Amino acid sequence: MEVYRYSKSELRQGALRQRKSCSKKFVFLRSLLISKKLANFLRLKNVKNVVSYNPINNEVHPNFLISNDVNVFFTKINAQTLRIARSKSFKRGKFSVLEPFCGTYAFKKQIECFIVPALAFDKRGYRIGYGMGFYDKLLQNSKALKIGVGFDFQVKNFNIKEDKFDVSLDYIITEKRILKCRR
């Protein structure tokens, strides 16, 4: 498989432009399909504590069908890292992301699964995000399952150049498939 010839910045800009061009209907309908696959997958893996996210910029909405039996935590930007909190109240935080307003914080070792957004993925599980490294810092040294969710067009047929701090995912779930990542 060939390595992408352009910089991460160029790939990031193109991927964001492509995703932003999707209609609200496209995002909603495919998010429902992805959420259903994700909920079934979590049930099969018997996951009880999961970290998810609130979407921005036409990201997949992963939380539609997650069971009430699952404790869903969300990320909150704290300086240069992400904290994990469970809350029913949200407010706009940094980058206009809905973040837990108050609630219970969790330790990374309590989490069994991380649901991660991206602008692009490769089949090895490496991803392009917004370039701040928040998720890579959060996922580092975690034994939890790492699942990327995105639209099928976000899975690229080339290897994304990874840096030493990049953390690869275990699975990618799209509206068309569940991809076990090859490292």
User: Can you say which residues are annotated as belonging to the binding site for substrate?
Assistant: 59
**DSSP designation for 161:** P
Q: Pick the closest to residue 150 from 183, 182, 126 (CA basis).
A: 126
Binding site for ATP: which residues?
8-12, 127-135
In 3-state terms, what secondary structure has residue 92?
strand
The 10 Å CB-count burial string (b at 16+, else e) for 11-41 is bbeebbeebeeeeeeebeebbebbbebbbeb
d(CA 159, CA 1): 7
Per the annotation, where are the binding residues? 8-12, 59, 127-135
